[in-house]
Amino acid sequence: MPRRPVVLPPRRLLALAVALAATAPLHAADLAAATACPLGSILCAKPAIDYSQCPVNPLMADYVPSLPATAAGRANAPTDIRAARSDSSNGREYTLTGNVTLQRLDQLLRADRIDYDRDSTAYAASGNVRYQDHALLLRADSIQGSTTPDRATARDVQYLLLTAHGNGSARAAQILDRERSAYSDATYSTCDPRHRLWEMSARRIDIDSATGIGRARDVSMRIKGVPFFWWPYLRFPANGQRMSGLLAPSFGVSSNSGFFLRLPYYLDLAPNYDATVIPQIYGNRGAMLGGQFRYLTASSHGTVNADYMGHDRLSGGRRWSLQAQDSTALGNGWSFNADINRVSDSRYFEDFGNSLTLAATSLLGSSAYLYGSGSWWNASLGIDTFQLTDPTLPYTSLPYARLPRATFNADLPLAGALEFGLRSEAVAFRKRNALEGDRLDLYPYLALPLQGAAWFVRPELGYRYTTYQLQQSANSSPDRGLPIGSVNAGLVFDRDVHLFGSDYTQTLEPQAYYLYVPYRNQNNLPVFDTQPLTFDYWQMFSSNTYSGADRQINANNLTLALTSRLLDAGGVERLSASLGEILYFTPQRVTLPGMPPTTYSRSSYVGTLSVALSPDWRLDVAQQYDPNAQRMTVSTIGVQRRIGGDGVFNFAYRYRQGLLDQYDVSALWPLNASWSLVGRWNYSVRDHSTLEALGGVEWDSCCMAVRVVARHYVRDFAGDTSNAIMFEVEFKGLGDVGQKTGDFLRRAILGYQ
């Protein structure tokens, strides 16, 4: 029979074309890509506040960089006075004129004239007055004070906080001590003094540079001179340190819950623990109270998040969620880790989830484990439970709880290169209205790993024994035992090459893996936690194609694979390409219930390609071609590209025969230094529907940023959709108002900064 030609569907040709087009050279202006978040990172960290668009504050013309950066020791430091002319009638009171400077450690006062009393250390300065210390820089019409005690009062002041970007003006300023200052009839902003986008004015502002806390009374907020907010008392961060007080509110609109508003209050309880109380209101549902508690000790750290709604007007019941995480070091190689997640009902994430991943969560897992390890062993003991959070799924899809589960693994050197190993697991499987039982799985083995500079070989021989104790079963003690033998061997060749104007080391790495496992009929064994593993390149070198111990494949297989890499002068992998296939000498007869045995003599060809020749772009391709069916069964193509500085473009195509067929395009596209577009489109070809679509705009400036995003997304596995509009205004250095749109975009757009 003639072989059919291999034809890629048009959509895969499109995906490949887009990926290859993205590797075309950029213009020089685009090569200034940000490298703080490497391409391929799943989630980029939130960057520091960016004031790069701010011009230099005019007060910085008076800044003297050589002064000490701390006030420690100021009380015992001498006062140095310099002037062009000095007059005194009694040897105690002096009139100093002409470029007068008065310096005491980090304090520097400059003026045209200073009257100074040597005995009381009192001074009065006028004419071009400039003052600087480790935390403050100001100009004033006049200033009066003393060095002992260290206090001063200035009139008609312009000031700049050196430990932050805050600046403003005041009718009067008081220097209370080496860390505290107070301002009357004052303004505060992080904007350029010549171009105030936002400004806070207050009857009095107190700044504590040691704690980083600012306090303002009778506060009015203005945007471009237009007032929009008043509050009798406000605490705010003066240098980015955490502090108790109201956080910026967040609000938005969801088609599933209506308008919502959150008003968080932060409690800085101690240096090693804090809390946030979050009153919330949902227009269609009612009031909710949420909170977070975080702690950090010498041996443990953790977080507790909780939300509670006493009565949901739409569903008619209580709604709540709980998330608790803890990690504790117990000493002597032992530790405890817990991750508890529970919600009140299966529709909770549909109604209150705010992302595609969260809203479409179908299974919520909880675990608590005790871990231990030594030089040649590791062990664990704990529990795993699960909760269904998709109302469209039947109870039968809920995994078994493991109450408890214990593991013990060992790798013990014997003689020479010979090693003894053990993999063991004991589990009690529990599930209501289902077969329950206990399982013990043991796999002792001997291995002889040998290697040289350009070769390696690892023969391994083991025996896998699995036994059960089942409840309410005719065969209460089924078991299985079989030997497993394998040999993994490879060679590594390398040479120097010159490509794309750079020098590289190219490797050629052939590898062979032979696996032999005799057949054992396992149809009498239950299936508690076993599923077929996703077939990929690394699965070709595994001794089992199933997760869990309920099934162990029979095998007489030979895997042949070839890998080639390009390494730059620093040893960084810039290109990796691999191709492999499994040859089956006997049919694979061990299957899960309802699955037919495999009679093919060869597996799919598996190919992978990863290219990152520069920090600006990355290409990843994985393909599987089934020669038995003469079709492509798996195709994933992904490209990521930096645009300008912080911009990024992502394109992904994902296809797996019979399961999914999706496009995913997302971008942060800078139009100029201030304006950027954001968007994402995730489309399922198989379902002929959009899974998520969002579009928005960002505006960024010296001291203020605005983000507006409209979003349409699938909220459950039944395909129901929701719409939302997210809006955020960030007053840099002060806080933000609206939803945490920036945090959402970091999750939605790969590489978003």
Q: Which of 236-245, 461-470, 509-518 has the lowest mean pLDDT?
A: 236-245
Closest CA to 340 of 322, 353, 319, 358: 322
In the structure encoding, which two tokens stand for residue 618, read together?
Answer: 């990355």
Which residues, at least 6 apart from 271, have a Cβ–Cβ distance to it below 8 Å? none
Q: Report which of residues 332 and 32 the model is more confident about.
A: 332
pLDDT one-digit tens code per residue, 374-403: 999 999 999 999 999 888 788 888 999 999
Q: How sure is the predictor about 356, in pLDDT bands with cuts at 50, 70 and 90?
A: very low
In the structure encoding, which two tokens stand for residue 634, read together?
Answer: 């798996």
In the structure encoding, which two tokens stand for residue 133, read together?
Answer: 């210390």
CA–CA gap between residue 379 and residue 383 (Å, rounded): 14
CA–CA gap between residue 11 and residue 583 (Å, rounded): 31
Q: Is residue 80 part of a domain?
A: yes
* 742 secondary structure, DSSP code: H
Question: Average pLDDT of 467-492?
Answer: 93
Mean pLDDT of the chain: 87
Q: Could you tell me if 327 and 415 lie in one domain?
A: yes
Percent of the residues in the chain that have a pLDDT greater than 90, as a whole number: 54
**28 pLDDT higher than 50:** no
Q: Could you tell me if 169 and 278 lie in one domain?
A: no
**357 pLDDT higher than 50:** no
Q: Is residue 206 part of a domain?
A: yes
- The radius of gyration of the chain's CA atoms, rounded to the nearest angstrom, is 34
Q: Looking at residue 22, what is its pLDDT?
A: 44
CA–CA gap between residue 639 and residue 644 (Å, rounded): 16
Q: Could you tell me if 162 and 251 lie in one domain?
A: no
Question: Average pLDDT of 120-134?
Answer: 91
Q: Report which of residues 550 and 119 the model is more confident about.
A: 550
Last residue of some domain: 243, 274, 295? 243
- Residue 175, domain CATH: 2.60.450.10
Q: Is residue 323 part of a domain?
A: yes
Q: Looking at residue 485, what is its pLDDT?
A: 97
Q: Could you tell me if 331 and 216 lie in one domain?
A: no
**676 pLDDT higher than 80:** yes
Most confident of 47-51, 626-630, 643-647: 626-630
CA–CA gap between residue 147 and residue 666 (Å, rounded): 60
**486 pLDDT higher than 60:** yes
Q: Is residue 252 part of a domain?
A: yes
Q: How sure is the predictor about 17, in pLDDT bands with cuts at 50, 70 and 90?
A: very low
Q: How sure is the predictor about 439, in pLDDT bands with cuts at 50, 70 and 90?
A: very high
Q: Report which of residues 240 and 373 the model is more confident about.
A: 373
Q: Could you tell me if 105 and 85 lie in one domain?
A: yes
Q: Is residue 697 part of a domain?
A: no
Q: Could you tell me if 124 and 264 lie in one domain?
A: no
Q: Could you tell me if 66 and 175 lie in one domain?
A: yes
pLDDT one-digit tens code per residue, 108-117: 999 999 999 8
Q: Is residue 360 part of a domain?
A: yes
Question: With contact defined as beta carbons under 8 Å apart, do 385 and 366 qualify?
Answer: yes
pLDDT one-digit tens code per residue, 66-76: 888 888 888 88
Q: Looking at residue 499, what is its pLDDT?
A: 85
Number of domains in the chain: 2
Q: Report which of residues 103 and 599 the model is more confident about.
A: 103
Q: Looking at residue 677, what is its pLDDT?
A: 93
Q: Looking at residue 19, what is its pLDDT?
A: 46
Q: Could you tell me if 266 and 152 lie in one domain?
A: no
Question: Average pLDDT of 23-48?
Answer: 56
Cα 92 off chain centre by: 64
Q: Is residue 538 part of a domain?
A: no
**505 pLDDT higher than 90:** yes
Q: Which of 315-319, 508-512, 576-580 has the lowest mean pLDDT?
A: 315-319
Question: With contact defined as beta carbons under 8 Å apart, do 753 and 35 qualify?
Answer: no
Q: Could you tell me if 300 and 207 lie in one domain?
A: no
CA–CA gap between residue 41 and residue 331 (Å, rounded): 33
Q: Which of 26-40, 115-129, 166-180, 522-536 has the lowest mean pLDDT?
A: 26-40
Q: Is residue 239 part of a domain?
A: yes
**Which residue range forms the structural domain that includes residue 212?**
60-243
- Structure-derived torsion over alpha carbons of residues 219, 223, 224, 230, reported in degrees to the nearest 10: -30
Q: Looking at residue 524, what is its pLDDT?
A: 92
Q: Looking at residue 368, what is its pLDDT?
A: 96
Q: Looking at residue 187, what is its pLDDT?
A: 94
Most confident of 493-502, 544-553, 719-728: 544-553
Question: Average pLDDT of 157-169?
Answer: 90
Q: Could you tell me if 357 and 265 lie in one domain?
A: yes
Q: Report which of residues 254 and 416 the model is more confident about.
A: 416
Q: Could you tell me if 114 and 189 lie in one domain?
A: yes
- Assign 3-class secondary structure to 494-553: EEEEEECCEEEEEEEEEEEEEEEECCCCCCCCCCCCCCECCCCCHHHHCCCCECCCCCCC
